[in-house]
């Protein structure tokens, strides 16, 4: 039979996941070997400080389908994902977390939707029982705020567990924004979409690498990368309050000119000074946020620095393939 099997790249960012990597890999391989496709597994080591790197190196020796992309330090989840996607050579790529919270069992149905023509197959997490209430609430509010401010609706519960067609992967080669927010980016590029739902599992082992600080940074990046509305809010606030202060001035003048007791407004003076000072600071902060963004963008630094790779040679995508598959070769990213 002359037909060439489709090839799939699996991209997994890893940051200090020594406790789960082994279990994750065997589960992933079990799922993949039941799929009639050639595949490569790209583990992106995002500057782990534990034994993750050694473990992946070992896995690379045991399985020819496993490849390692090791970044020179911790660049963050989004950059690690982008790095893996840039190195992916499959006809499509699937990204998922290495802590088994994104069930590998879902992969066949992602592929099925892709074969039916979807270029982006996203997943929607149905209420994660295990995640703390604060995390669920904050993510809910983030999505609401994002829609309000950017006019683009991101569906809540959509994490970075998805399938991307080669056409979409190629557009990502050109993404050079510093404030990387893949979720928004992928909404922005368009293409036909499909959604698969799943129930999130508990983290198999290890701890979440997302501190509240990292989440806040991601949320701020996400919003300011896709909208200038916050800037406009600053302008509107500025106008409203200057208007109000004119009204107040008129009132003060009236008191001064037509009544006896002019000097009594210490409290109101200090109050309005403080209030306006606060508003100005908010506006400056918002403007600063964007200037910072411009500063980051103009430097055009690459998103990640690769320190070590294993398995990205000339060999075919997977041992099962006949080897006649035309593989797209990509030189180093950026």
Positions in the binding site for Mg ion (CB under 5 A) = 97, 99, 101
Query: From Mg ion, ligand UDP, none, which one binds at residue 209 (CB under 5 to 8 Å depending on kind)?
Result: ligand UDP
Cβ at position 228, least distance to ligand UDP in Å: 28
Q: Which two tokens stand for residue 43?
A: 């583990």
Strands 92-95 and 7-14: parallel
Cβ at position 40, least distance to ligand UDP in Å: 18
Cβ at position 81, least distance to ligand UDP in Å: 8
Query: From ligand UDP, Mg ion, none, which one binds at residue 15 (CB under 5 to 8 Å depending on kind)?
Result: ligand UDP
Neighbours of 291 (CB within 10 A): 11
Cβ at position 102, least distance to ligand UDP in Å: 9
Cβ at position 20, least distance to ligand UDP in Å: 8
Cα 132 to Cα 31: distance, rounded to the nearest angstrom = 29
Residue 138 or 229: which CB sits closer to ligand UDP?
138
CB 52 within 8 A of CB 89: no
Cβ at position 183, least distance to ligand UDP in Å: 13
Query: From ligand UDP, Mg ion, none, which one binds at residue 241 (CB under 5 to 8 Å depending on kind)?
Result: none
Q: Which residues bind ligand UDP (CB under 6 A)?
A: 13-15, 17, 46, 74, 76-77, 80, 97-99, 101, 208-210
* DSSP code of residue 116: T
Residue 110 or 159: which CB sits closer to ligand UDP?
159
Query: From Mg ion, ligand UDP, none, which one binds at residue 40 (CB under 5 to 8 Å depending on kind)?
Result: none
CB 76 within 8 A of CB 182: no
Cα 48 to Cα 65: distance, rounded to the nearest angstrom = 22
Residue 15 or 143: which CB sits closer to ligand UDP?
15
Ordered DSSP codes for 129-166: SSS-HHHHHHHHHHHHHHHHHHS-PPPTT--S-EEEEH
Ordered DSSP codes for 258-311: H-S-----HHHHHHHHHHHHHHHHHHHHHHHHHHHHHHHHHHT--S--EEEEES
Residue 7 or 95: which CB sits closer to ligand UDP?
95
Query: From ligand UDP, Mg ion, none, which one binds at residue 46 (CB under 5 to 8 Å depending on kind)?
Result: ligand UDP
**In terms of residues, how long is the chain?**
334
Residue 140 or 176: which CB sits closer to Mg ion?
140
Query: From Mg ion, ligand UDP, none, which one binds at residue 139 (CB under 5 to 8 Å depending on kind)?
Result: none
Phi and psi at residue 26, in whole multiples of 5°?
A: -65, -35
């Amino acid at each position: 039979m002359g037909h060439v099997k489709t090839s799939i790249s699996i991209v997994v960012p890893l940051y200090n996941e020594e406790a789960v990597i082994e279990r994750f890999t065997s589960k992933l391989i079990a799922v993949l070997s039941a799929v009639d496709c050639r595949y490569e597994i790209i583990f992106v080591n995002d500057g782990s400080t534990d034994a993750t790197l050694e473990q992946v190196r070992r896995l690379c020796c045991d399985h020819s389908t496993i490849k390692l992309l090791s970044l020179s330090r911790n660049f963050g989840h989004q950059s690690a994902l982008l790095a893996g996607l840039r190195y992916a050579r499959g006809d499509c790529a699937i990204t998922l977390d290495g802590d088994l919270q994104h069930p590998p069992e879902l992969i066949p149905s992602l592929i099925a939707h892709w074969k039916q023509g979807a270029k982006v197959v996203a997943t929607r997490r149905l209420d994660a029982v295990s995640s703390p209430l604060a995390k669920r609430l904050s993510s809910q509010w983030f999505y609401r705020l994002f829609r309000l401010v950017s006019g683009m609706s991101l569906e809540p519960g959509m994490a970075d567990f998805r399938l991307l067609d080669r056409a979409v992967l190629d557009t990502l080669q050109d993404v050079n924004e510093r404030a990387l927010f893949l979720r928004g980016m992928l909404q922005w590029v368009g293409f036909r979409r499909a959604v698969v739902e799943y129930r999130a599992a508990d983290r198999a082992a290890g701890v979440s690498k997302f501190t509240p600080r990292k989440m806040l940074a991601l949320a701020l990046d996400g919003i300011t990368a896709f909208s200038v509305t916050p800037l406009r809010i600053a302008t509107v606030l500025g106008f409203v309050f200057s208007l109000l202060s004119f009204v107040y001035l008129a009132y003060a003048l009236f008191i001064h000119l037509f009544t006896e007791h002019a000097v009594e407004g210490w409290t109101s003076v200090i109050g309005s000074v403080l209030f306006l000072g606060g508003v100005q600071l908010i506006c400056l902060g918002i403007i600063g946020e964007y200037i910072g963004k411009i500063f980051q963008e103009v430097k055009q630094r690459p998103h990640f620095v690769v320190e070590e790779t294993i398995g990205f040679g000339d060999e075919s995508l997977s041992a099962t393939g006949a080897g006649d598959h035309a593989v797209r070769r990509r030189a180093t990213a950026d």
